């Protein structure tokens, strides 16, 4: 048994080192990409970096451009700064559309399509800020957006990407995401983002509820993409017991990953009641800034950036009502109709 524990410890150590090395590589590429953004032409810059880093740096510059506009408006140097930025964003979007109409490799086409998706949302936000006559960076219309900044991380003393939304702050996690598609960001997506990030900020879980096909799970997965977090989706069923749920919580808490528990109210009432104790022990450990804590008799390490999301279809047959103690650990949001 002792030998087995030693082996598990070694494997954990090697995996931890590999993850840190990969994250450092992505951070180094992001630093170079940030410098190249102003040196290279936009096409050369887009073609030069991995898709994940291109999307990150593009988001950082979009946020800094908008905040620069607010400075110009407040000091009176250019009261039409947002209008000018809107014209520039339309021009950039047009250039991307022309690029995607050309002969491109499959991976480059996917990357540009993601850029078009994100830039379209940025254009809509800039237009909204201008139409609603927003003149300050602390207005809710701007604060409620996912904003990316390139700033110094005091823990590592290195430049890093910080993501802000309302009063919640998250460091970009540099989880390798590959070159996958991104969700179209609608006003509903933005509302779910605000609820989910505030839940994480308050050391709670988030519980989107609503009919099938409204985008509860997909939006949660897309938020994890934005923060570069690994997310695992678990389809809950009445066969799952408290031990299997406890093992999942242990894995999420020690790895810092997010878990999305689909159809959470399919679990049996007796399992749900134990889940509330298990999840509360994780949130209590995060609130107390513990490095290690006890869960179901095992002492495990804790990564405070872990998160849990539960999605539910209320009113269906075979669905249990959540215990009040469990409800109190999750911030609810109702998703009724997908915003088309």
Q: Give residue-wise pLDDT tens across range 137-185.
A: 999 999 999 999 999 888 888 889 999 999 999 999 998 888 999 999 9
pLDDT digits (tens, 9 = 90+) for 10-61: 555 566 677 788 888 989 999 999 999 989 999 999 998 999 999 999 999 9
- Looking at the fold, whether 123 and 266 belong to one and the same domain comes out as no
Give me the domain span that covers residue 23.
2-162
User: Which pTM was predicted?
Assistant: 0.90
**Helix H or strand E segment including 50:** none
Nearest of 298, 246, 312 to residue 276 by alpha carbon: 246
pLDDT band at residue 5 using 50, 70 and 90 as cut-offs? very low
Residue 81 and residue 49 share a domain: yes
Closest Cα partner for 114 from 49, 166, 184?
184
99: domain CATH number? 1.20.58.1120
What gap in Å lies between CA 203 and CA 270, rounded to an integer? 25
Question: Is the residue at 170 inside a domain?
Answer: no
Inside any domain, residue 101: yes
Number of structural domains, the chain?
Answer: 2
Give the whole-angstrom CA distance, residue 133 versus residue 87.
16
Q: Would you say residue 294 lies in a domain? A: yes
């Amino acid at each position: 048994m002792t030998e087995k524990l030693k082996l598990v410890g070694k494997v954990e150590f090697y995996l931890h080192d590999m993850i840190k090395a990969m994250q450092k590589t992505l951070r180094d590429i992001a630093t170079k990409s940030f410098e190249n953004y102003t040196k290279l032409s936009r096409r050369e810059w887009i073609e030069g970096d991995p898709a994940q880093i291109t999307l990150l740096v593009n988001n950082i510059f979009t946020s800094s451009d908008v905040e620069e506009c607010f400075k110009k408006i407040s000091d009176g140097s250019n009261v039409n700064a947002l209008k000018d930025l809107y014209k520039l964003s339309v021009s950039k979007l047009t250039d991307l559309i022309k690029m995607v109409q050309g002969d491109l490799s499959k991976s480059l086409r996917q990357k540009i399509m993601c850029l078009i998706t994100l830039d379209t949302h940025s254009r809509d936000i800039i237009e909204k800020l201008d139409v609603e006559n927003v003149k300050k960076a602390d207005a809710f219309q701007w604060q409620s957006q996912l904003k990316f900044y390139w700033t110094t991380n005091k823990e590592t003393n290195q430049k890093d990407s910080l993501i802000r939304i309302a009063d919640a702050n998250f460091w970009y996690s540099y989880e390798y995401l590959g070159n996958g598609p991104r969700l179209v960001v609608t006003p509903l997506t933005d509302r779910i983002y605000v609820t989910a990030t505030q839940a994480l900020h308050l050391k709670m879980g988030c519980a989107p509820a609503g009919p099938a096909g409204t985008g509860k799970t997909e939006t949660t997965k897309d938020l994890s993409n934005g923060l570069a977090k690994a997310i695992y989706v678990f389809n809950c069923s009445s066969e799952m017991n408290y031990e299997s749920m406890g093992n999942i919580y242990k894995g999420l808490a020690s790895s810092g990953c997010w878990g999305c528990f689909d159809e959470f109210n399919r679990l049996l009432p007796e399992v749900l009641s134990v889940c509330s104790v298990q999840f509360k022990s994780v949130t209590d450990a995060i609130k107390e800034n513990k490095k290690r804590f006890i869960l179901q008799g095992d002492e495990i390490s804790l990564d405070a950036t872990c998160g849990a999301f539960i999605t539910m279809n209320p009113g269906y047959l075979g669905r249990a009502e959540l215990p009040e103690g469990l409800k109190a650990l999750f911030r609810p949001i109702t998703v009724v109709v997908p915003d088309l």
